[in-house]
Structure 1
Amino acid sequence: MTEKLEQYKERLNLLQEKGGLSPESEELLAEMLAELTELNRSNKALRRVILKSGQGSAMSTRLRDALYE
């Protein structure tokens, strides 16, 4: 996902340099890119938490046997 973010940033910079965007469009795209960056960071943090919690919570043998019956 970080590659995509970098591509979006580059494309936005190119459009800004060319002057192909209105000020409102630039502001909107900058806000959207910032939000996408924050969501990506949050997603990574949540994935880390899920992976950590999954490693420590092994099902007990009795519970697993009861579920399979």
Structure 2
Amino acid sequence: MTEKLEQYKERVNVLKEKGELIPDAEILLEEMLAELTELNRSNKALRRVILKSGQGSAMSTRLRDALYE
């Protein structure tokens, strides 16, 4: 995802340099990129927590079956 995020940022920068963005669109894109960056960071942190918690305990068969239903 980080690579894709960098591609988005680069594309926005190219459009800004060419002057093809109206100010409102530029502000909106910057806000969206900032939110996407934060969500990406949060997603990575949650994945780490899930991986760590999965190593310490095994889920019971009943719980696993109930979650999959």
Identity %: 82
Aligned Cα root-mean-square deviation (Å): 1.3
TM-score by length of 2: 0.84
Q: Secondary structure at the match of 1:49?
A: helix
TM-score by length of 1: 0.84
* Mapped pair 1:32 → 2:24: no
CA offset at residue 58 of structure 1? 2.5
Uncovered stretches (5+) of structure 1, i.e. residues with no partner: 65-69
Structure 1 runs of 4+ aligned residues shifted over 2 Å read none
Aligned length in residues: 61
Based on CA coordinates, which of the two structures has the bigger radius of gyration? 1
Uncovered stretches (5+) of structure 2, i.e. residues with no partner: 62-69
User: What is the aligned partner in structure 2 of residue 47 from structure 1?
Assistant: 47
